[in-house]
Structure 1
Amino acid sequence: MSRTGNQLARLESEEVARGVRLLLARPLLTAVFDHDGFDLVRRRREPIVKWFDYYCGWRVHVEPRAGYARLFKTTQRPDRTRKLFDRRRYMLLCLVCAELLATPTTTVDALTMNVRLAAAAEGLPPFNLDRRSDRSALASVLRFLEEHGAIESDEVQVRADPTLITRLLAAPNPPSTVDGIGELTHESRYENAHRSLWQRHSVMRRLIDDPVVYKDELSASQLAFLTSPTGRKVVRTGIGLAGCTLEERAEGYLVVDPESIATDTRFPDDDSSAKVAALLLLDRLAQGPARFDELVEEARELLTEFRNWAKEYQSDGGAGRLTADALALLEAFGLARTENGTVRRLPAAARYAVEELND
Structure 2
Amino acid sequence: MSRTGNQLARLESEEVARGVRLLLARPLLANGQDPDGFDLIRRRREPITKWFDYYCGWRVIVEPRAGYARLFKTTQRPDRTRPAFDRRRYVLLCLVCAELLTTPVTTLDDLTSRLKQADDMEFDPGRRSDRNAFNGVLTFLEEHGAIEANEQIRADPTLITRLLSSPVAPSTVDTIEDLTYESRYENAHRSLWQRHSVMRRLIDDPVVYKEDLTASQLAFLGSPAGRKVVQTGITLAGCTLEERKEGYVVVDADAIATDTRFPDDDNNAKVAALLLLDRLALGPATTEELAEEAREVLTRFRNWAKAYQSDGGASRLAADGLELLEAFGLARTENGTVHRLPAAARYAVEEPND
Q: TM-score range by the shorter chain?
A: over 0.9
Q: Does 1:271 align with 2:266?
A: yes
Matched residues in 1 for 2:320 and 2:228: separation?
38
Matched residues in 2 for 1:82 and 1:72: separation?
18
**Residue 11 of structure 1 aligns to a residue in which SS?**
helix
Q: Does 1:100 align with 2:95?
A: no
TM-score scaled by length of structure 2: 0.99
Aligned-pair distance for 1:179? 2.2
Q: Does 1:71 align with 2:71?
A: yes
Matched residue, 1:56: 56
Q: Does 1:152 align with 2:148?
A: yes
Matched residue, 2:280: 285
Amino acid at match of 2:24: L
Aligned-pair distance for 1:176? 1.6
Which residue of the other structure, out of 197, 206, 216, is the alignment partner of 1:221?
216
Alignment of 1:136-151 (within 5 A): 136-151=132-147
TM-score scaled by length of structure 1: 0.97
Q: Does 1:117 align with 2:117?
A: yes
Matched residue, 1:255: 250
State the Cα deviation string for residues 294-314 of structure 1 (Å, max 9, x = none): 111111000000000010100
Matched residues in 1 for 2:295 and 2:132: separation?
28
State the Cα deviation string for residues 191-223 of structure 1 (Å, max 9, x = none): 111111011001000000000000000111111
Which residue of the other structure, out of 295, 298, 308, is the alignment partner of 1:300?
295
Aligned-pair distance for 1:187? 0.7
Matched residues in 2 for 1:172 and 1:116: separation?
33
Q: Does 1:128 align with 2:127?
A: no
Aligned-pair distance for 1:112? 1.5
Amino acid at match of 1:24: L
State the Cα deviation string for residues 10-62 of structure 1 (Å, max 9, x = none): 11000000000000000011111111110000000000000000000000000
**Residue 81 of structure 1 aligns to a residue in which SS?**
coil
Identity within the alignment, %: 80
Alpha-carbon RMSD across the aligned residues, in angstroms, is: 0.8
Aligned-pair distance for 1:125? 3.1
Matched residues in 1 for 2:123 and 2:165: separation?
27
State the Cα deviation string for residues 269-294 of structure 1 (Å, max 9, x = none): 00111100100110111111111111
Aligned-pair distance for 1:180? 2.1
**Residue 271 of structure 2 aligns to a residue in which SS?**
helix
Matched residues in 2 for 1:293 and 1:181: separation?
32
Matched residue, 2:345: 350
Matched residue, 2:331: 336
**Residue 127 of structure 1 aligns to a residue in which SS?**
coil
Q: Does 1:186 align with 2:181?
A: yes
Matched residues in 1 for 2:346 and 2:176: separation?
35
Aligned-pair distance for 1:173? 1.1
Matched residue, 1:83: 83
Matched residues in 2 for 1:206 and 1:242: separation?
15
> Unaligned 5+ residue runs, structure 2?
none
Matched residues in 1 for 2:291 and 2:154: separation?
46
Amino acid at match of 1:167: R
State the Cα deviation string for residues 91-114 of structure 1 (Å, max 9, x = none): 000000011111111111221122
**Residue 186 of structure 1 aligns to a residue in which SS?**
coil
Matched residues in 2 for 1:258 and 1:180: separation?
38
